[in-house]
A and B are shown apart, each in its own frame.
Chain A
């Protein structure tokens, strides 16, 4: 199984900050990475697919990058509604696996 290791597990940031979350795969997976946002008590929401493609309706302050084993999700100018957890997912091979998540909290 491909392991997805996210870092950091949590971070504190202020409104307007630039935030970057990273995800490392245990083997090369090309660009088969998707990113999700999840708020407490809610289902995850797709933000980025294919490592860097923005899902329809998602604000452009979200962006994804990476290929191979190292991937990142960046939020430029953090907004109040962005305080949530973020999770990466690989779709290179079954079983589909997720990272452990990163919680973005208000500083």
Chain B
């Protein structure tokens, strides 16, 4: 059964870079028909899509964050990562990694990691 586990810097200082990694187990990150995504949810608020990477390596970002966000893939470790630079209090959120099923073109997020909380504070 596919599982995703996000980990990384839980406490980040303002203006610094947030770094998270999502480890994929029970399946290959290189499998066709899927992409891998990061989504965040500020406390008490709704979900915000950050970006996704296809199995082919193509990457798409939310334009609202694009200048500060980098998503990368390490196929040898079966994981993908997120960096958000120049963080502010607005970047404090629960960050989720998830799998997007692209094979049916509906881009539904069918497997989610548990989420990791990022706090921004000096």
Chain A contacts to B: CB under 8 angstroms: 32, 34, 36, 42-46, 49-50, 53, 55, 87, 89, 91, 94-101
How many residues of B are counted as interface, with CB atoms below 8 angstroms from the partner's CB atoms? Answer: 23
Q: Is B48 an interface residue (CB 8 A)?
A: yes
Residue of A nearest to B97 (CB): A43
Chain B contacts to A: CB under 8 angstroms: 46-49, 52, 60, 62-64, 96, 98, 101, 104-110, 112-115
Residue of A nearest to B48 (CB): A98
B115–A34 CB distance below 8 A: no
Compute how far the CA of A97 lies from the CA of B63 in the bound complex, rounded to whole angstroms.
12
A44–B104 CB distance below 8 A: no
Total contacts A-B at CB 8 Å: 61
A49–B115 CB distance below 8 A: no
Compute how far the CA of A32 lies from the CA of B106 in the bound complex, rounded to whole angstroms.
6
Q: A49-B104, A50-B106, A91-B106 are in contact. List 16 more A-B contacts (CB 8 A).
A: A32-B106, A36-B109, A43-B98, A43-B112, A43-B115, A44-B112, A46-B109, A46-B110, A49-B108, A55-B108, A87-B47, A94-B60, A95-B62, A96-B107, A97-B49, A100-B46
Main secondary structure of the interface of A (DSSP, over half): loop
* Residues of chain B contacted by A45 (CB below 8 angstroms): 112
Residue of B nearest to A87 (CB): B47
A66 to chain B, nearest CB (A): 13
Given A43-B114, A43-B115, are A98 and B47 also a contact pair (CB < 8 Å)? Answer: yes
